[in-house]
Amino acid sequence: MLSDQAGDGKRTSLHGFWSSRMAFILAVTGSAVGLGNIWKFPYIAGQNGGGAFVLVYLFCVVLIGMPVMMSEILIGRRGRRNPVASMALLGEEEGSSRNWQWVGGMGVLAGILILSYYSVIAGWTLEYVAKSASGVFTGASADLVGAEFGAFIGDWRKVVLVHTLFMGLTIFVVARGVERGLEQLVKFMVPALLVLLLVLLGYSMTSGHFGEGLAFLFMPDFGKLTWESVLVALGHAFFTLSIGMGAIMAYGAYLPEDTSITGTSTAVVAADTLIALLAALVIFPLVFANDLNTAEGPGLVFQTLPLALGQMPGGAFFSTIFFVLLSFAAWTSAIGLMEPAVAWIVEQFKKTRAQAAVMIGGLIWLLGLCSAMSFNVLSDFRFLINVDTDGDGIMDAKGTIFDNVDYLTSNIMLPLGGLLITVFAGWVMCRNSTADELGGSGGFYTAWRLLARFIAPIGILVVLINAVS
Ligand code: TRP
């Protein structure tokens, strides 16, 4: 997929280029579409009261997510290195300082931390492929499906095993080079996921309480909105688009000069948002029809879908396919999460990709053990952030390791990274540089610059300050 011809006389990539505009769009889409859309978005929308939260999330995606994504791609393409080195190089070149490399460094760290728990949840999806195929959910009651889930995550050996399996698969692909195979996989997976979600939507519309689900998701009740949930919505906009940590910057480093950054970003943001909304539209009508709790938390998709599909003809089949596709989606995201760290190790310490993948992957696996055990042996080890354990809207306990790592990365590190990235692209880089990358000074450029200089950084700052204080 990568070729080594440069677009023109500019700085050339250290690793070759994406073979086509489509290859890049597919790689970025593959990183964006993942557990964030199907596992996380529905459960946090449920925990944060639905409608108003969804609306804030959509605003964040468009007004903050878009300009951050464009900034990341343009910085990556101009720097042509891993995020740490690109930020250092451009910081110097634009007359500021090499210290901007710390933004890249924070991204490398965020990627490692996110993948440590992401891999645990991805392991759950692997387990659910096997469970669905075995037919345990066929005709099962809500209690039984809940008990299956509880028994599984309560068994640390099983959770660690599937986490290990998933990390092994991820290390394997990253070691061989992100480019190979990824394109084909994403090309098949995203459309297949879309089709399956549409099939499930059909089922949900006929067998679920569709009106109730629709109202929950799209009728905003601003009384339920706190600064805390606004921060969760903002953090999720970053998480789901894979931005704020240099992953898209790392991919942008391999992008040919003649590709439109605005066009690519628009396509990726639209596909990612569509899939998240579809997933929520499938899940909530089923939640209401089966009298489940909207604020169920991380187990939501693992309980609603098997339950509902267990009652549908051919349910075991659809459920298996669904979790297979979700595992693939998680896999292509995991590859993106490792890319900044791996590219950095390869360039900085002159290691091979395989060595870097094993080193970084091993570290991530080790850290992931803490999150894996947050659901069983370490479930009473709680600190720092407040959480609502029974879904009644009252914060009644401290968070587990998993809760804290998720909160720190999604709600603090990614928005902070996004803030610094837009400040860099909007204020530190001169107009000529950014106009050059974004192709001219037309309406799109002006809009981007307004968002990157003012709306995005100020928006992020206001939310962070209000939510934390
Ligand atoms: N966007 C991914 C998802 O929704 C998760 C993610 C966050 C990610 N940051 C990333 C993936 C960076 C790749 C690179 O599941």
pLDDT tens-digit readout, 308-332: 999 988 899 999 999 999 999 999 9
384 burial via Cβ count (<10 Å: 0-12, 13-18, 19+): exposed
Mutate which of 109, 125, 239 for ligand 1 pocket (most atoms within 8 A of beta carbon): 239
**Could you give the CA distance from residue 269 to residue 89 in angstroms, rounded to a whole number?**
28
State residue 258's pLDDT score. 84
Residue of the CA atom closest to atom 8 of ligand 1: 242
Cα 367 to Cα 433: distance, rounded to the nearest angstrom: 39
Is residue 13 in contact with ligand 1, taking CB distance under 6 Å? no
**In this predicted structure, what is the pLDDT of residue 10?**
67
Domains of the chain and any CATH numbers: 21-468 (1.20.1740)
| pLDDT for position 8 | 47
CB 410 less than 6 A from any atom of ligand 1? no
Cα of 205 vs centre of ligand 1, distance in Å, is 29
Least confident stretch, 7-16, 255-264, 346-355 = 7-16
- Max CA separation in the chain (angstroms): 66
- Check pocket membership of 365 for ligand 1, CB cut-off 6 A: no
**240: CA distance to ligand 1 center in Å?**
6
Over residues 236-248, the pLDDT tens digits come to 999 999 999 999 9
Atom of ligand 1 lying closest to residue 34 CA = 15
pTM given for the model:
0.95
- Which atom, in ligand 1's list, is nearest to the CA of 110? 9
Location of structure tokens 């992931």: 368
CA of 32 to the centre of ligand 1 (A): 5
In the beta sheet, which residues pair with residue 386?
A: 398
Q: Which of 45, 2, 5 is nearest to 282 (CA)?
A: 45
**Ligand 1 near 237 CB (within 6 A):** no
What's the gap in Å between 332 CA and the centre of ligand 1? 9
* Residue ID of nearest Cα to ligand 1 atom 10: 242
Distance from residue 291's CA to the centre of ligand 1 (Å): 31
Hey, which residues does 17 pair with through a beta bridge? Answer: 3
How far is the centre of ligand 1, averaged over its atoms, from the C-alpha of 29 (Å)? 10
pLDDT tens-digit readout, 400-438: 999 999 999 999 999 999 999 999 999 999 999 999 999
d(CA 177, CA 64): 31
142 C-alpha to ligand 1 centroid (Å): 31
pLDDT at site 2 = 42
Query: Which of 113-117, 201-205, 338-342 has the largest mean confidence?
Result: 113-117
Instruction: Give pLDDT tens digits for 1-44.
Output: 344 344 444 676 666 667 677 888 888 999 999 999 999 999 99
pLDDT of 362 over the 80 cut: yes
The CB of 1 under 6 Å from ligand 1? The reply is no
Ligand 1 centroid to 449 CA: how many Å?
Answer: 25
Say what the pLDDT of residue 4 is: 38
Backbone angles phi, psi at 117, to 5 degrees: -95, -25
Report the C-alpha gap between 226 and 466 in whole angstroms: 10
pLDDT of residue 392: 75
Angle at 50 between CA 48 and CA 56, to 5 degrees: 80
* Residue 157 confidence (pLDDT) above 80: yes
Q: Is the pLDDT of residue 355 over 90?
A: yes
Query: Which pLDDT score is estimated for 179?
Result: 62
Between 267 and 388, the more confident residue is: 267
Asked if residue 35 has its Cβ within 6 Å of ligand 1, the reply is yes
